[in-house]
Amino acid sequence: MARYFPKLGEAVVAEIEAAWAQAQPEWARRRLLVVRLIAQHELTAAQIMRVAQVCRQTVFVYRDKVVDGGVAELLRRERAPGREPAVRGAVKTEFLQRLDEGKFRRAKDAQAWIKKRTRQTLSESGVRKVLRRLGGKLKVPRKSHAKKDPAKAAAFKVALPQKLAAIAGEAARSGQAVRLWVLDEHRYGLLPVIRRVWGRRGVRIHVPYATRYQWGYLHEAMEVDGANKLELLFTPCIDQDVHALFLRQISQTEPAALHVVIQDQAGFHLPEDDARLPANLRLLPLPPYSPELNPVEKLGDLVKDEVCNRLYPSLRKLEDRIIAALRPWRSDPAKVAQLIGSGWLLDGLNSGAQI
């Protein structure tokens, strides 16, 4: 037999409707829906269960709460006290800072630090949960030169928009378009590159290896915005004259434009006042020992991934493989834009030069 609820009373109904008209979290909205349907006197308990997607007992619990204490009692959530997390407050802030600095090589290192800092002993699995909860991930650290000055790297990012704005103003006065490039070089050779592969546990994987010291240099330049072009040059050696050839190649991609090249301060790179620089090209040197500021570094890793774990009979065969590996980036500007990313470099370009 269908069971209908007795009336809740006008005062309670008015209180329910007032709370329903306000913004409520999902859990509160569900509770109010149950007692609101009860107050409307149109549905049975079984029908309210299906509409509100709660069990039968919950319908009566919510009814009793609103009858005994009104909407305030209905919307009061009782929580179990639980255990306070070991890493919280100032300890959490310090833990995150150490995590950002790569101070924990293993979960055991984090476990020992938590015990020393809080005098609480967590299991190793518990520490792994803390690491995951706080965004931790096991990763290979990137090498950073001991002579690197982080302040200079930060200052370069800050000063970039002003430098680009000055160059853009120069180009505007002469009616030139401006194209921004990032440039670098990578050495390749017949000494094989070894990379990790998947294999079965307990089975050793072998890759061919031979010690042969023959190499060449791949010059790479990516356009930061606009056409997102990729320019390449293979050379058997590298010096300032060779570097001048590659800069000339970049400048000739659009002779009427003013080309701005961001590059590091390698000894074989031309200085800003060198007479061999093309007239339509300007240099912006990166701070020393800051390769992470140059997106072209990612291209070198991609090449190594494509040529790893195999022997090549000659440099020409290796170069053919490199060209084939880079073909998608040469033909698809979107892939170059993806390598450039959407971080500080594009921000500096858009806020400074507007080119």
pLDDT tens string 25-69: 888 888 889 888 888 888 888 888 888 888 888 888 898 888 888
Q: What is the mean pLDDT of the chain?
A: 89
In whole angstroms, what is the distance from residue 37 CA to residue 5 CA?
Answer: 10
Q: What is the pTM of this model?
A: 0.65
Q: Check residues 42 and 322 and name the one with the higher pLDDT.
A: 322
In whole angstroms, what is the distance from residue 194 CA to residue 314 CA?
Answer: 18
Under a CB-based contact definition with an 8 Å cutoff, are residues 242 and 236 in contact? no
pLDDT in tens, 116-133: 999 999 999 999 999 998
Percentage of the chain lying above the pLDDT 70 cut? 95
Q: Check residues 207 and 79 and name the one with the higher pLDDT.
A: 207
Q: Check residues 349 and 97 and name the one with the higher pLDDT.
A: 97
Question: From residue 221, how far is each of 64, 121, 247 by CA, in Å?
Answer: 72, 52, 9
Band (pLDDT 50/70/90 cuts) for residue 292 is confident
According to the model, what pLDDT value does residue 3 have?
56
**10-14, 231-235, 253-257, 333-337: the lowest-pLDDT one:** 10-14
According to the model, what pLDDT value does residue 268 have?
95
The yes-or-no verdict on residue 189 having pLDDT over 90 is: yes
**136-140, 174-178, 230-234, 286-290: the lowest-pLDDT one:** 136-140
According to the model, what pLDDT value does residue 79 have?
65
Band (pLDDT 50/70/90 cuts) for residue 141 is confident
pLDDT in tens, 302-312: 899 999 999 99
Band (pLDDT 50/70/90 cuts) for residue 80 is low
Band (pLDDT 50/70/90 cuts) for residue 140 is confident
What is the chain's alpha carbon radius of gyration, rounded to the nearest angstrom?
32
Band (pLDDT 50/70/90 cuts) for residue 1 is very low
Q: What is the dihedral of CA 304, 307, 312, 317, to 10 degrees?
A: -100
Percentage of the chain lying above the pLDDT 90 cut? 49
The yes-or-no verdict on residue 265 having pLDDT over 90 is: yes
| CB crowding 161-178: b at 16 or more within 10 Å, else e | bebbbebbeebeeeebeb
According to the model, what pLDDT value does residue 144 have?
78
According to the model, what pLDDT value does residue 2 have?
47
Under a CB-based contact definition with an 8 Å cutoff, are residues 134 and 92 in contact? yes
